[in-house]
Structure 1
Amino acid sequence: MASVDIVIPCYNYGRFLPRSVESVLSQNVRDLRIIIIDNASTDDSVEVAQRLMRMDSRIALVRHAVNLGPHASFNEGIDLAGADYFMILCADDLLADGVLSRAIDILEVCPQAAFLLGAEGRPIIGDQEPGKQRHPSGWRLTSGHRFIERCCRTYAQDLAAYAILARTRVQKEVGHYRASLTHLDDVELALRLACEGAVVEIESPLVIKRLHADNLSEGMWQDRKFDLQERERAFESFFAREGASLPGSARLHALSKRRIGEAAYWSAASHFVRGHAGQGRALLHYAFALNPLSMLIPPIGHLYRTKGAFRRVSSVVASRLGGGA
């Protein structure tokens, strides 16, 4: 089987690190290396990593004397990678059971693919263990251009780009995560990788996310405008560089902004209905800036394209009417 490097960046996640490492070692992959990159943790992360190293020679540790930020760890991992495949796994997350060997097998029979993504899985909360989950075995191969266009149409809303299994050769050609993108650097990287080849998407999760009080960006995503603005920034970065040479790049970029604007419009409506007028106004102004036509014609098409949108609208309206009764 082909070789793989799994880089695990860690900052004060010593309590989660053993389970994260175990989820990698339990995969049915023999030619495997785990590189833990500790970003000057102040807890026992280094001691935990050293203990894990003594237990398995496939584990290596890189220590930063000062906290250089997460991008430094991501990008150092790219520089250190030397196996056929490369992946970053956050220290508080888990590889899904048995997924790695299957993902590698698929990429091995799809030489035109640059990378592989999994589906969004059910997260685990706090210290709990993931329960038994049904993992569909289906997968699809999509051309890079079609993948990019779909991301523009959906503003990458459901893209599980936090877990990318890439061909190391392609990853090194594409380069580092961009430090200028604080939160959706992974989405922008997926778009860049798609410029280099096709994309394999499996129906099962590649990684199980862990939600807990110390998640770096947990609170930020409660702000819908912030979320949408970060998506806009990711597309802006991509189309200002690698995406600029794509056929129809201007149309695709405009499409991404229009769809983000449509999402902002309906989020504004939801905030108004729920009595959050200030947030609603901010979202509406943002929607009009990205999609001026929505000042005249509500973007009804967004509701038809978005799974569960009509149900959520009905739920918000019903709860508001019920609260006012």
Structure 2
Amino acid sequence: MLPIPSVSVCIPVYKGEKFLAETIRSVLDQTYRDFELVVLDNASPDESGNIAHSFAERDARVRVERNPVTLSQPDNWNRVVELSRAPLVKVVCADDLLHPRCLEYQVAPMDADPGLALVASRRHMIDEQSRVIAPRRGLAGLTGVRTGVEVARRVVRNGSNPIGESNNVLFRREDFFTVGGWRGDRTYVMDLDLWLRLLQLGDFLGLPETLAAFRIGRGTVSSDNSAAIYEQQRTLIEELGDSPYFQVRGVDLTVGKLFAPAGRARRRALFAVSKMSAGKSDSVA
């Protein structure tokens, strides 16, 4: 048994053969070296498992597991965290990327301050060819150390997810299980829902650096379910407004309602740009 590392980077994958190798390489290229990479193959019918094993054969930090049957996304994501061993965890989708210094920048403050529950960075939005289509997104008004109350109010005002997805966030494994992990009834806002529950256990640190990339491609969960995402975000924001812990004010809710349509329009525009870019690449090929 290898020594327990400081960080577990977890990649849950299903039919991820197109981008998985690029994603794994971005993790293994980290300047911070004390981590394990856990790849959970969700009974993929493609070459995802073989791709992951090809890296495990060359790097002892890579561990590949496989589900006997395909699980739902929330169950699969909970399972990959269960398989992790380190006190700090990052979950990276099988088509997203990390900047080489992502762990270096995020682990240090978590080690230095046990009162931090989350560390997040900005991220690029990229297309299917890994080209940046929207640079340095996220964390508007959320850089530096913030309380959970401050973050919740900013989330409500934003009307969307100003923190970001799992690849640009680092959290504590113990906290994850304390709050119950990813929720199956929040498939389209799983990340934001989890961040807010974790922030009832500690503070938030937003880093100004851009340390990850989120891929917007054809057929992704985000691109195909805009209406469902919007509805679940609206429900989550209403719950925040009713929460005695987060103390969301009426003015926050009012501002959020005003800006929510604009946030939805921005997401649609990003998906449209990505599809246009993919279409051009197909025609050239």
Q: Same fold (TM over 0.5)?
A: yes
TM-score, L = length of structure 1? 0.70
* Number of residue-to-residue matches in the alignment: 256
1:79-123 deviation digits (Å, cap 9, x = unpaired): 22221210100010001221211111122222211111112x332
Does residue 261 of the first structure (1) align with residue 257 of the second (2)?
yes
Query: Which residue number corresponds to residue 179 of structure 1?
Result: 184
Query: Which residue number corresponds to residue 54 of structure 1?
Result: 57
SS across alignment from 2:171: strand
Match of 1:232 among 228, 234, 237: 234
* Structure 1 residue 217, shift from structure 2 partner: 2.4
Query: Which residue number corresponds to residue 168 of structure 1?
Result: 173
In the alignment, the residues of structure 2 paired with residue 78 and residue 172 of structure 1 have an alpha-carbon distance, to the nearest angstrom, of 9
In the alignment, the residues of structure 2 paired with residue 215 and residue 149 of structure 1 have an alpha-carbon distance, to the nearest angstrom, of 29
Does residue 128 of the first structure (1) align with residue 130 of the second (2)?
yes
SS across alignment from 2:187: coil
Match of 1:150 among 141, 144, 154: 154
1:136-165 deviation digits (Å, cap 9, x = unpaired): xx9511112221222222224433133320
* Structure 1 residue 169, shift from structure 2 partner: 2.1
**Cα RMSD over matched residues?**
3.0
Q: Which has the higher strand share?
A: 2
Query: Which residue number corresponds to residue 196 of structure 1?
Result: 201
Counterpart of 1:246, as a letter, is Y
Identity across the alignment (%): 23
SS across alignment from 1:204: strand
In the alignment, the residues of structure 2 paired with residue 265 and residue 211 of structure 1 have an alpha-carbon distance, to the nearest angstrom, of 20
Cα distance change, pair 30–162 in 1 and its aligned pair in 2 (3 A): closer
1:250-298 deviation digits (Å, cap 9, x = unpaired): x55x666544432357799x9xxxxxxxxxxxxxxxxxxxxxxxxxxxx
SS across alignment from 1:206: strand
Structure 2 contact 32–104 (Cα < 8 Å) conserved: yes
Cα distance change, pair 31–197 in 1 and its aligned pair in 2 (3 A): same
Query: Which residue number corresponds to residue 144 of structure 2?
Result: 140
Query: Which residue number corresponds to residue 87 of structure 2?
Result: 84
In the alignment, the residues of structure 1 paired with residue 161 and residue 57 of structure 2 have an alpha-carbon distance, to the nearest angstrom, of 41
In the alignment, the residues of structure 1 paired with residue 174 and residue 93 of structure 2 have an alpha-carbon distance, to the nearest angstrom, of 22
For structure 2, the 5+ residue unaligned runs are 266-285
Cα distance change, pair 264–169 in 1 and its aligned pair in 2 (3 A): closer
Structure 2 contact 124–136 (Cα < 8 Å) conserved: no
Does residue 216 of the first structure (1) align with residue 221 of the second (2)?
yes
Structure having the higher Rg? 1
* Structure 1 residue 128, shift from structure 2 partner: 3.4
